[in-house]
A and B are shown apart, each in its own frame.
Chain A
Amino acid sequence: MTKTILSPMSLLAELTHRCPLQCPYCSNPLALEPRRNELSTAEWISVLDQAAEMGVLQVHFSGGEPMSRPDLPELIRHAVGLGLYTNLITSGVLLNAKTFPALVEAGLDHVQLSFQDIDTANAELVGGMKGAQARKIEAARLVAADGMPLTLNFVIYRENAGRVPQMLEAAIQMGARRVEIAHTQYYGWGLANREALMPTAAQLEQTTQAVEAARKKYEGRLTIDYVTPDYYADRPKPCMGGWGRRFINISPSGRVLPCHAAETIPNVAFPDVRHDTLDHIWREAPLFTMFRGTDWMPQPCRSCDQREKDWGGCRCQALALAGDAAATDPVCSRAPDHERVKAVLDTLPAAPPPFRYRRYARATDEVG
């Protein structure tokens, strides 16, 4: 059985694409959804009900900045009532003494707070918002003071890669229980800014060593999740734990996706919760069935002993790098298109080019 349909474990609810920050590695698609297309509160509540019924255990409220939605406490309370584990993925710039108590009262289980860097000047350059760092530090203080578990998320890129030891020390100082040292993943805005963001092999090695040292030093106090840039790997990551196996992403307008970058996949309809049920989409929608299991795989995946471990890697990366979403992920050293990954790394510019900031298309037009 290669197409067994499991119950999804995890739901990423992207409540909005609106965000006060403009990080050039944002995982949102290049075409950001305007507010008028966002799902209503009632529509999100129906999504949560359906997800819990299907077996989802954890819901991650994300965005954009999910705290841009005034109904966030109501949605959290509803999810808690369904027994879902609730996680808020936030930039923290809207999390303050006025807004946080409503989240605590709603029963929020956990906060994941993102930092662009530990160096304030560079963090605010990358996020495009002056004063953001102080707000984030205050947000971390409020969460830790409440006792709610706190994860700090640092996205790693060329400019901040040398500061991983300071990031890990700061996580301890801020009372975080977990920290993610997550190298940029090259989709959406990250792909558009790849030449500016991609670290060197030496930088990657340095961050790996910093993480390994901190894991020993802080064992039992700090859990460190470490995500590498897979361009430097020999084997692909098991993207989303396999297409349509455990993960559902809902976009702000209600599109149901196997991952947050799946809107790049061509020649397939994007199902949405305004026109179909979540369960039916998960089981039957071509977007979910097309890469589920192993039947779709080309060689060398089809006969590879890793095929049910890495699931052929990432479909969106295959599309971005090989021009074919059904190709073996080119980061795999066995992939026919592996040379393309090497070519990217071999031609990184000596000085990083300027960022293309994450903005709504119209705003970009207005500034020329």
Chain B
Amino acid sequence: MSADLTDDSVIRFARGVRLQHDRVRERWIIQAPERAFIPDPIAAEVLKLVDGTRTLGQIIADLATRFAAPVDVIGRDVHVMVNDLMTRQVLVV
């Protein structure tokens, strides 16, 4: 497994994986080797902030502000989601 995920982790897309807007179907997709995933709307908001420089904590703070939600609630959800996407080799730290 990859290194442990903390709020200080800088997450990025694995090489060969990207978030892309599908203009024909009007939705966001994750392009990956020989598959395309459809992120749910919240995952798409998280992934739009993944730029290889922001820490996970910064992403969580940004979302908490924009959606006027408690940081600990958002943080818990985002950690679960990012862990899952790391297991699926979409994101790496």
Contact = CB atoms under 8 A, between A and B. Distances in A.
Interface of A: 7, 9, 54-55, 57-58, 60, 83, 85, 87, 109-110, 112, 147-149, 151, 177-178, 219-221, 223, 225
A213 B15 CA distance: 27
A83 B25 CA distance: 14
Contacts of B31: 57-58, 85, 109
Contacts of B22: 55, 57
Contact of B87 (A109, A147, A220): A220
B16 A149 contact: yes
Contacts of B15: 147-149
A219 B14 contact: no
15 contacts: A9-B36, A55-B22, A55-B24, A58-B31, A60-B34, A87-B34, A110-B33, A149-B15, A151-B34, A177-B16, A177-B89, A219-B1, A220-B2, A220-B89, A223-B88
Most chain A beta carbons < 10 A, residue from B33, B86, B87: B33
Nearest to B15: A147
Contacts of B44: none
Interface in B43-78: none
B5 interface: no
B29 interface: yes
Interface of B: 1-2, 14-17, 20, 22, 24-25, 29, 31, 33-34, 36, 86-89
A223 B86 CA distance: 12
A57 B33 CA distance: 12
Nearest to B88: A223
Nearest to A58: B36
Contact of A87 (B17, B25, B29, B33): B33
Nearest to B2: A220
B31 to A, nearest CB: 4
A223 B89 contact: yes
A54 B31 CA distance: 17
Contact of A58 (B1, B34, B86, B88): B34
A178 B34 contact: yes
Given A110-B33, A220-B2, A55 B25 contact: yes
B33 A151 contact: yes
B22 to A, nearest CB: 7
Given A148-B16, A177-B16, 7 more contacts: A55-B25, A85-B36, A151-B33, A219-B1, A220-B2, A220-B86, A220-B89
Contacts of A223: 88-89
B33 A149 contact: yes
Contacts of B34: 58, 60, 87, 110, 112, 151, 178, 225
A338 B24 CA distance: 41
A54 B89 contact: no
Contact of A149 (B14, B86, B87): B14
A88 B49 CA distance: 29
Nearest to A83: B20
A177 B33 contact: yes
Nearest to A56: B24
B76 to A, nearest CB: 21
Nearest to B34: A87
Given A7-B24, A220-B86, A220-B87, A109 B33 contact: yes
Contacts of B36: 9, 57-58, 85
Contacts of B88: 223
A177 B29 CA distance: 20
Contacts of A83: 20
Nearest to B16: A149
